[in-house]
Amino acid sequence: MSLTQLKDSLPPDWKLEEEIRRLKKERNAVILAHYYQESDIQDLADHVGDSLQLARAAQKTQADVILFCGVHFMAEVAKILNPERVVILPDLEAGCSLADGCPAPEFERFLAKHPDHFVISYINCSAAVKALSDVICTSSNAVKIVSQIPKGQPILFAPDQHLGRFVMKQTGREMVLWPGSCIVHETFSEKKIIELLLRHPGSELIAHPECEEPVLRHAKFIGSTTALLQYAVSSSAQTLIVATEEGILHAMRRDAPGKTLIPAPPEDESCACNQCPHMRRNTLEKVYLALRDLQPRLELDETLRLRAKKPIDRMLEMS
């Protein structure tokens, strides 16, 4: 039965949020949501966080069911860490341009051209790519992980070239980069950001390290979604221009009330380019259906799961 058919057969006072809370209890489920989810989903979640925090929350949970409101690779990490639990996500098609732009067979050929390199993969990649990596990192621990690799050991970093370049600058380490990028973080216009900074004296640009270098060079602070949120709260600047997916503004408005928060403008302002189309596939209706039906489920081949788990465990130890 579709949700529309279901709604038609229900009393008019039926409330989606209440039904989701009821089902969550009934299923002994935990809802994990990324900051890029629509605000209604963030408000219903047990944990809202960046990709590292959500991986940690998935590692610790005792719930029978993990409903992962994020994209496919994030739910996949939850399943890799919790093979015995049911992991569902509202929309199985919620992909990621970074993960999709780094297919495992091509990545394997790339690695073959760089033997002896230590392979660090950003968590935004498939389980198959993780299985080919020595360690995983997220935007909040990438600098820390790279800094721990012995000097003299060549490093290959994939799949986000912009994060890779940012880490190279921070650590002074040369790395071979896979040429991937995020469709959302590549849309911001340097020219329009400069105009905004000039129009709002005292304002600061804060940016996710997936942004391109011409944008990052104007940033007062660069960090993961959680780090950006913390900075927005602690900064003395009253106006912040935020260069990341605009879902984070929901938590920023709540935690930094009174501050003026301006989403960084994309080159083409006629689109909703600073909303991740993959993250936004998840809706409250799909959250309800996923909890009701315990579908769609994340399933993983056990051999692949074990190979992908190794570099994730290593990351959790190193960060």
The interface partner of residue 97, options being ligand 13P, ligand SF4, none and the CB cut-off 5 to 8 Å by kind, is ligand SF4
In the complex, the smallest distance separating the C-beta of residue 120 from ligand SF4, rounded to whole angstroms, is 16
Tell whether omega for the bond before 296 is within 30 degrees of 0, i.e. cis: yes
Which residue of 80, 89, 98, 136 would you call a contact of ligand SF4, by CB under 6 A? 98
- Exposed, middle or buried: residue 262 (CB in 10 Å: 0-12, 13-18, 19+)? middle
- Tokens 């011409």 found at: 214
CB of 50 to ligand 13P, least distance (A): 3
**Of the candidates 124, 141, 187, 283, which one interacts with ligand 13P according to CB under 6 A?**
124
How far is residue 194's CA from residue 188's CA, in Å, rounded to a whole number? 11
Whether the CA torsion 178, 146, 169, 234 is positive or negative: it is: positive
By CB under 6 A, is residue 52 in contact with ligand SF4? Answer: no
- Asked if 49 contacts 229 with a C-beta cutoff of 8 angstroms, the reply is no
| Beta carbon of residue 17, minimum distance to ligand 13P (angstroms, whole number) | 25
Angle between helices 51-60 and 72-81 (to 10 degrees): 30
User: Among residue numbers 199 through 238, which ones bind ligand SF4 (CB under 6 A)?
Assistant: 210
Which positions from 56 to 95 touch ligand 13P by CB under 6 A, shown as an x/- string? ----------------------------------------
What is the closest distance, in whole angstroms, from the C-beta atom of residue 210 to ligand SF4 in the complex?
6
CA distance 57 to 286: 22
Phi/psi for 119 (5° steps) reads: -100, 115
Residues that bind ligand 13P (CB under 6 A): 50-51, 124, 138-140, 182, 208, 210, 224-225
Site residues (vs ligand SF4, CB under 6 A): 71, 96-98, 124, 182-184, 210, 245, 276, 278-279
